[in-house]
C-alpha cells in the first residue's frame, strides 16, 4: 500500500512539472535533470534523411529545446521507403528536406524551436550554422562532411554522434571531445572515392536507418544528461539481417591526427568540391564558389522559355526538362537530377545557370 501511495505522489508531482514527458522523466537514470538538460539543449541534425530524420523526430518528441535542421537535398520518391519525415506530396513537389522536416516536426511539437538550413554544410559556413549547439548528430551520407564534423567538434569541444546505415548494417560511435576515440582514430584518412559501400551500390533495408537514428537519439540523450560513460563509447556495428553485433573498443590513438595531434585539416581546407554525387539516385550537387546570392526571379525570367514546368519561390527555382530536372537555391547551389554523370551535371548547370 505504501508503494501505491508513493507512486501516486510521484506521478502527481511529475504531472505538474511536465505532463507530456512524465513517462520519460519517470525513468530514473534520466529523470527530471536529464529532461531539463534536454530542454535546454540545441541539437544540430546534419542531414535530415533516414537516420537524421528519425533522430530529429524522436528528440523532438523527447523534449529537445531547439533543433537545427541542416540538409542540402530535396525529397524524392525513392527516399520514402526509409525517410520517415516525408510523404508523397513532399516527393511530388521535390521539397527541400530541411524545409519539409521542419514543417513535419512543427506538427509534432509546437514548443520546439526550429532553425532550418537548406544548404550544404562545409568549412565556409560550419561556424555560423553550428554556433552554440550542444551536440551534433550525424545524418549525412558522405565521409567528407563527417571529417569536417569531427574536426569542428574537437576544435569547439562539442560532442557528436557518428551514425551510418547501408545494406543490412548500421554503425554508431558517440564521440565526446576532448577525449577520444574519435572518427579519425578508426579512419585516419578519408578512403578514396568509390571505395566505400553506399546506398547506391549496396542498397539499404528501409527500417535500418530509423533503428540507427533511434540509437543516435538515445546516445544524445545520455550525453546531454551527463550519463554517457567513456568506456561505453565504442564503435558498434550491427548486422540486422544476420543479427550480428560487433563492438570495437579502440583506445584513443596516440597518433590520431584529430584528437591527439590537434590537426584540423578539414576545418581549414578551403577547397570546395564542385560536383558531388548524392547517395541514392542519379542526382548531382553543384557547389559554386562563395559569391553573391542569386536573384531567382531574374533567373526564372531568363529560363521561362526553356520549359512549361518552371517553379520559383523565395527558396528555390525548379526547371523540369523531362528526363532532367534542375533545382537552384539562392546561394547558387544546384541539384541536377537525371544528368547521368558529374560532367553532364556540370554542363547542365553551366548551360542553364552559368558560372
| Residues that bind Zn ion in the complex, under the rule CB under 5 A | 180, 182, 184-185, 256, 258-259
Residue 262 or 289: the one with the smaller Cβ distance to Zn ion is 262
**Strands 316-321 and 309-312, sheet pairing:** antiparallel
Residue 21 or 184: the one with the smaller Cβ distance to Zn ion is 184
Residue 11 or 186: the one with the smaller Cβ distance to Zn ion is 186
Residue 231 or 270: the one with the smaller Cβ distance to Zn ion is 231
Please identify which residue in the block is written with the cell numbers 540545441: 42
CA-to-CA separations, 73 to 259, 325, 337, in angstroms, rounded: 30, 13, 11
For residue 162, the minimal CB distance to Zn ion (Å) is 12
Q: Quick one: which of 17, 51, 49 has its CA closest to 36?
A: 17
For residue 257, the minimal CB distance to Zn ion (Å) is 7
For residue 53, the minimal CB distance to Zn ion (Å) is 28
For residue 251, the minimal CB distance to Zn ion (Å) is 10
For residue 256, the minimal CB distance to Zn ion (Å) is 3
Residue 72 or 233: the one with the smaller Cβ distance to Zn ion is 233
State how far the Cα of 136 lies from the Cα of 150, in Å rounded to an integer.
Answer: 10
For residue 182, the minimal CB distance to Zn ion (Å) is 3
For residue 166, the minimal CB distance to Zn ion (Å) is 23
Residue 190 or 207: the one with the smaller Cβ distance to Zn ion is 190
Q: Residue 330 has which C-alpha cell? A: 539562392
CA-to-CA separations, 159 to 224, 258, 304, in angstroms, rounded: 9, 14, 47
For residue 163, the minimal CB distance to Zn ion (Å) is 17
Residue 208 or 259: the one with the smaller Cβ distance to Zn ion is 259
Residue 266 or 348: the one with the smaller Cβ distance to Zn ion is 266
State how far the Cα of 213 lies from the Cα of 202, in Å rounded to an integer.
Answer: 19
Amino acid at each position: 500500500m505504501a508503494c501505491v501511495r508513493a507512486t501516486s505522489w510521484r506521478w502527481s508531482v511529475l504531472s505538474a512539472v511536465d505532463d507530456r514527458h512524465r513517462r520519460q522523466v519517470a525513468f530514473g537514470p534520466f529523470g527530471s535533470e536529464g529532461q531539463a538538460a534536454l530542454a535546454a539543449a540545441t541539437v544540430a541534425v546534419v542531414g535530415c534523411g533516414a537516420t537524421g530524420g528519425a533522430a530529429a523526430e524522436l528528440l523532438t518528441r523527447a523534449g529537445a529545446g531547439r533543433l537545427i535542421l541542416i540538409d542540402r537535398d530535396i525529397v524524392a520518391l525513392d527516399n520514402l521507403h526509409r525517410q520517415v519525415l516525408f510523404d508523397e506530396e513532399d516527393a511530388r513537389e521535390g521539397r527541400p528536406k530541411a524545409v519539409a522536416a521542419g514543417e513535419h516536426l512543427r506538427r509534432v511539437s509546437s514548443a520546439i524551436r526550429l532553425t532550418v538550413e537548406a544548404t550544404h554544410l562545409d568549412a565556409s559556413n560550419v561556424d555560423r550554422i553550428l554556433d552554440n549547439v550542444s551536440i551534433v548528430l550525424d545524418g549525412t551520407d558522405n565521409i567528407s562532411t563527417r571529417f569536417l564534423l569531427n574536426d569542428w567538434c574537437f576544435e569547439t569541444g562539442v560532442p557528436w554522434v557518428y551514425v551510418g546505415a547501408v545494406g543490412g548494417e548500421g554503425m554508431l560511435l558517440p564521440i565526446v571531445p576532448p577525449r577520444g576515440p574519435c572518427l579519425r582514430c578508426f579512419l585516419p584518412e578519408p578512403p578514396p572515392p568509390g571505395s566505400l559501400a553506399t546506398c547506391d551500390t549496396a542498397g539499404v533495408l528501409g527500417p535500418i536507418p530509423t533503428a540507427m537514428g533511434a540509437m543516435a537519439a538515445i546516445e544524445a540523450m545520455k550525453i546531454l544528461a551527463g550519463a554517457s560513460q567513456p568506456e561505453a563509447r565504442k564503435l558498434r556495428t550491427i548486422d540486422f539481417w544476420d543479427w550480428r553485433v560487433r563492438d570495437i573498443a579502440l583506445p584513443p590513438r596516440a597518433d590520431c591526427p584529430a584528437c591527439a595531434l590537434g590537426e584540423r585539416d578539414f576545418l581549414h581546407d578551403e577547397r570546395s568540391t564542385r560536383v558531388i554525387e548524392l547517395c541514392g539516385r542519379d542526382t548531382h550537387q553543384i557547389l559554386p564558389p562563395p559569391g553573391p546570392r542569386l536573384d531567382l526571379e531574374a533567373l526564372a525570367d531568363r529560363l521561362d522559355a526553356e520549359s512549361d514546368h518552371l517553379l520559383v519561390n523565395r527558396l528555390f527555382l525548379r526547371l523540369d526538362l523531362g528526363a532532367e530536372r534542375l533545382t537552384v537555391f539562392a546561394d547558387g547551389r544546384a541539384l541536377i537530377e537525371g544528368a547521368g554523370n558529374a560532367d553532364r551535371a556540370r554542363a547542365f548547370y553551366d548551360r542553364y545557370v552559368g558560372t
